[in-house]
Chain A
């Protein structure tokens, strides 16, 4: 343990030294990226030392490493540009925008991956080589009428090619909306920074600056995400992805069938039958139970319970009473009595 800490201290000195030099401009030829890289290297070394093959912990450390390396390191670099120098809210916003580019929302969402997080786009990436082959095969015939003995096969390929084009279009529309939200976030960031120009309200740390950006970005995102425009773009993206996936699955299933292997449809059909049979069986069982005299139910005996270790504290009802508001409910007109 102590050895590990010493190793990290030595490594950290090296990395932070590099970072510090870059921040102070001691190595101007290294450019702004040198500081970010030094920070990322230090984080990477730390993450390797702190992990240890424990799934849950390693996943969290992975997120910690990436989010600090992606966002916080860049914010450090931006703050360093204005340390001890005269600047305005607009200067800081411009520098931040230059560091992140026009659509940081897209970058954030692209980075939302790891255990328990697989997005729609990721499936397309995994299937990309296969999809590309199919597309190449289908691209020349996307609009052609299908005929002959391979008609059905050709139509499936055409559907796949068209679905992929629709998905790319929907993704592009969604990204454009996120780019718009990003611009709104930068505007809100600048406005919030301007409020901090007052004496006594200035931001004194990189973390405070980063947190202010998060506030601005979340406000802009919420305004977009609650809009009808977002609803349509998001719906179109999910629907296009599902069409693409369904088209690919249809081809994969067809191929499986040709090899004599059961496909999803066949398995689903069996599961559906089982679920329906279970439902019918329960209905019959319920009817039979209703018609038969029941034995007296077994009571829960206190003797079977775990012995008491200590008495509970008396309840402070005051707190509950204070917190609770009793509100008279408006009684709506009742619907016609149910059939049952």
Chain B
């Protein structure tokens, strides 16, 4: 076509061909979708070893006996479900760590209901993380364990490590916000003028629907319109459709947020930026990152739209440790668990880093 026609090199013929390809994809999609069962997730065998209320500590069972003597406890965020770290056979951080000899445990916070509205950050950090850590210390006859906190779970882990430095041998934070007031933090910008007390007093627990909508609104065209328009490309690919549906399941399988913990988290971190400005208080205790003196591996994602890299990088200057390591992963907030490259790079890094510090 003549270049002077304008920005579109489209003819009636090419339009018809594109529509024809769309139609063929739809036809193929009928066979793909009808032949599919419900998607499954969480592939690695696990067993319950400890429980407090709705919170359960699971131990993962790999295909080899762990070689690591110090157990690794994963603390995930309260938003979304922790099976993101073990989504499917070829996308599992847990599997990767087990294959390398780590002894992996995870805390599952469960689905809070209205009777859990008054759970506070102290409950989540001291009672649940603390309870799980104490169980593991006893069970493995260790004074301290390795802790891996993810996103909000990383914030909890930092608080716990600051309050109980002797119980955490090595700390790994993944996509964890530390400075909540970086200029590119959209969630934080939205939170600052919200009357959190009014919100929690009115709603009690914060509904999962509202959380889901908030996350979609971070990139509404890409995460809502473009994603589903683009789904046509994979309608004839059963494996890709299964992956897509599994991810959809995870995205919308969100627990409600316990009201009081939400109030404290938003006030102290999103609004108060407490790690940077001070003022983080868990129960009766002040939290200072300067007291986090154990080795730290801080892993963040360069294209993270939820936790901007600079929000995580701030840990370098605030932590009290002399042994601080960073992994800047080329990917996004979710890609750091499920992308092809992450399957090797992330568990390799964690295992090698821990192995060096276990000698």
Contacts and interface: CB of A to CB of B under 8 A. Distances in A.
Interface in A276-325: 276, 279, 282, 297-300, 302, 305-306, 308-313, 315-317, 319-321, 323-325
Interface stretch (B81-89, B151-159, B215-223, B332-340): B215-223
B321 interface: yes
Given A5-B30, A205-B14, A312-B64, A218 B140 contact: no
Contacts of B325: 324-327
Nearest to B113: A271
Contacts of A82: 6, 8, 10
Contact of B100 (A46, A84, A221, A315): A315
Contact of A209 (B8, B12, B326, B329): B8
A150 interface: no
Nearest to B12: A83
**Interface range for A:** 35 or more
Interface stretch (A132-140, A153-161, A239-247): A239-247
A226 B324 CA distance: 31
Contacts of A193: 7
Contacts of A1: 30-31, 34
A291 to B, nearest CB: 16
Contacts of A98: none
Nearest to B287: A338
A234 B188 CA distance: 12
A209 to B, nearest CB: 7
Interface string B166-197: 00000000000000000110100110111100
Contacts of A213: 221
Contacts of A12: 23, 26-27
A12 B28 CA distance: 13
Nearest to A9: B27
Contact of B198 (A8, A239, A267, A327): A239
Given A308-B65, A320-B345, A330-B317, A275 B6 contact: no
A204 B319 contact: no
A145 B219 CA distance: 46
A226 B193 contact: no
Q: Which of B225, B291, B322, B325 has the most CB of A within 10 A?
A: B225
Interface in B22-43: 23, 26-27, 29-31, 33-34, 36, 38-39
Contacts of B56: none
B186 A243 contact: no
Interface string A203-236: 1111101110110011001100111001110111
A334 interface: yes
A4 to B, nearest CB: 6
Interface string B60-100: 01111100000000000000000000000000000000011
Which interface residue of B4, B11, B118 has the most chain A CB atoms within 10 A? B118
A72 interface: yes
Contact of A320 (B6, B288, B349): B349
Contact of B16 (A20, A194, A335): A20
Contacts of A57: 33, 36, 245
Nearest to B349: A320
B212 interface: yes
A340 interface: yes
B321 A329 contact: yes
A235 B345 CA distance: 40
A259 interface: no
B286 A109 contact: no
Contact of B203 (A8, A16, A242, A326): A242
Nearest to A236: B193
Nearest to B49: A300
B224 interface: yes
B216 to A, nearest CB: 6
A205 B18 contact: yes
B263 interface: no
Contact of B316 (A236, A323, A327, A335): A327
Nearest to B99: A312
B327 A324 contact: yes
Contacts of B100: 312, 315
Contacts of A148: none
A198 B3 contact: yes
Contact of A67 (B115, B225, B344): B225
Contacts of B1: 84, 202
Contacts of B349: 320, 323-324
Given A60-B248, A115-B252, A300-B139, A105 B220 contact: yes
Most buried by A among B8, B122, B245, B290: B8
B248 A334 contact: no
Contacts of B192: 231, 235
A238 to B, nearest CB: 5
Contact of A315 (B36, B116, B351): B351
Contacts of A202: 1, 3, 5-9
Given A56-B249, A83-B14, A112-B213, A275 B290 contact: no
Given A118-B207, A325-B328, A332-B290, A312 B19 contact: no
14 contacts: A59-B248, A60-B244, A63-B228, A64-B232, A84-B11, A86-B6, A112-B224, A117-B216, A119-B213, A235-B192, A243-B198, A326-B324, A327-B316, A335-B288
Interface of A: 1, 4-5, 8-9, 12, 16, 19-20, 23-24, 42-43, 46, 49-52, 54, 56-57, 59-61, 63-64, 66-68, 70-72, 76, 79-80, 82-89, 91-92, 105, 108-109, 111-112, 115-120, 193-194, 196-200, 202-207, 209-211, 213-214, 217-218, 221-222, 225-227, 230-232, 234-236, 238-239, 242-243, 245-246, 249, 264, 267-268, 271-272, 274-276, 279, 282, 297-300, 302, 305-306, 308-313, 315-317, 319-321, 323-335, 338-340
Query: Which 3 residue pairs are nearest across A and B when measured between Cβ atoms?
Result: A235-B193, A116-B252, A199-B3
